[in-house]
DNA sequence: TCGCAGGTAGAAC
DNA sequence: GTTCTACCTGCG
């Protein structure tokens, strides 16, 4: 079954968006389990010309499957309109040819995105991918070798580190302690993750976020432990589809400084303000395209 | 072996 | 309000 919206599936999958790790890659397809109406559904997607071809296994209708895939791969976003926007701005004009078909890769659910994004802070994509995959395998549900992300209570009950697991479980040798957050390589982010779970249990309802304005949602999500401005914007963009977010890290700062400020060093908070002001509803996509344009065009190597 | 890279929290300015 | 430093791990 084909969905007729242009996309570069592989580019979208491997682009390091912190919504969820890339799906498992097979010869010519990607597969993973998503949750649709509280039911696990295994999806297989592949490139067919410029479109997405898919298959699924699970207790939902074809219409529901299409709707989920359209959300996760943001297939209703009008890329042609966006490319016209890019070509009308000299600083951005080259980007669409380097990243043609790149789309947002949105999270299966917001909680997964919050924990994933906390894990991504001050981290490498490689270590981040391994940590999130480990968390899913240890505490998520197994569906034919594909794992869902654990729910809030399950992750809240996870041990923090070897010492805590040794103390509170009946394991007789601390060397055998492997079912704890730090064993997933998340380092000092482990307590942030647990405190975030506690916050979502006691005080903050993530399902309220989509009803808020961007500014209100930003201020709310900033209260989550381990979440600063960069991570908050990633959560709002990849987890809640707020396309006016402009996640600003050191790379975006270098790129924006180069393209717009003659190489002059601008602070990250100023870059965020600039991006939101300048790009409006396109900010999220501009950020995504800037990063991959810099990667592919050689600009990143030059700015290092 | 050690230095470096990457955002946030908390403290100091 | 802005700037400094510690935090954890994998990599070169």
Q: What is the pLDDT of residues A172-221, one digit of tens each?
A: 888 887 889 999 999 999 999 999 999 999 999 999 999 999 999 999 99
- The set of residues, in sequence order, having a beta carbon less than 8 Å from that of A29 and lying 6+ positions away, is A44, A45, A46
Strand, helix or coil for residue A164: helix
* Dihedral, CA of residue A216, residue A222, residue A224 and residue A228, to nearest 10: 160
Q: Which of A230, A253, A264, A270 is catalytic?
A: A230
Taken in order of first residue, the domains within chain A and their CATH numbers are 2-98 (3.30.310.20), 110-240 (1.10.340.30), 250-303 (1.10.1670.10)
In this complex, which residue's CA is closest to the C1' atom of nucleotide C3?
A267
> What gap in Å lies between CA A105 and CA A241, rounded to an integer?
10
Q: Are A225 and A197 in contact (CB under 8 A)?
A: no
pLDDT per residue as tens digits for the range A101-154: 999 999 999 999 999 999 999 999 999 999 999 999 999 999 999 999 999 999
User: In this predicted structure, what is the pLDDT of residue A169?
Assistant: 86
Q: Are A99 and A7 in contact (CB under 8 A)?
A: no
Query: Phi then psi for A43, rounded to 5 degrees?
Result: -105, 145
**Nucleotides in B strand less than 7 A from protein CB:** 5-9
Active site residue A39: no
> What gap in Å lies between CA A182 and CA A46, rounded to an integer?
35
Å from the A226 CA to the B9 C1': 8
């Amino acid at each position: 079954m084909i969905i007729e919206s242009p996309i570069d599936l592989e580019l979208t999958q491997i682009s390091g968006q912190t919504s969820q790790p890339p799906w498992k890659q097979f010869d010519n397809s990607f597969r993973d389990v998503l949750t649709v109406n509280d039911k696990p559904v295994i999806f297989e997607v592949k490139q067919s010309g410029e479109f997405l071809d898919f298959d699924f296994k699970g207790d939902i209708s074809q219409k529901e499957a299409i709707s989920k895939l359209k959300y996760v791969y943001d297939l209703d976003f009008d890329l042609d309109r966006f490319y016209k926007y890019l070509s009308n701005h000299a600083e951005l004009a080259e980007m669409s040819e380097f990243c043609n078909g790149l789309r947002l890769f949105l999270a299966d659910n917001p909680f997964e995105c919050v924990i994933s994004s906390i894990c991504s802070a001050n981290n490498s994509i490689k270590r981040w991918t391994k940590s999130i995959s480990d968390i899913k395998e240890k505490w998520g549900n197994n569906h034919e070798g594909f794992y869902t992300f654990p729910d809030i209570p399950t992750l809240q009950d996870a041990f923090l580190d070897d010492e805590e697991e040794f103390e509170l479980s009946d394991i007789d040798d601390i060397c055998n302690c492997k079912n704890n957050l730090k064993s997933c390589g998340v380092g000092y982010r482990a307590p942030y993750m647990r405190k975030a779970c506690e916050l979502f249990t006691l005080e903050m309802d993530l399902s309220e976020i989509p009803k808020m304005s961007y500014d209100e949602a930003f201020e709310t999500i900033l209260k989550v432990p381990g979440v600063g401005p960069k991570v908050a914007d990633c959560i709002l963009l990849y987890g809640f589809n707020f396309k006016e977010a402009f996640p600003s890290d050191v790379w975006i700062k270098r790129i924006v400084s180069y393209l717009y400020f003659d190489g002059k060093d601008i602070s990250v908070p100023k870059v965020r303000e600039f991006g939101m002001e300048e790009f409006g509803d396109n900010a999220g996509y501009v950020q995504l395209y800037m990063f991959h344009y810099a990667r592919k065009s050689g600009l990143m190597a030059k700015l290092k």
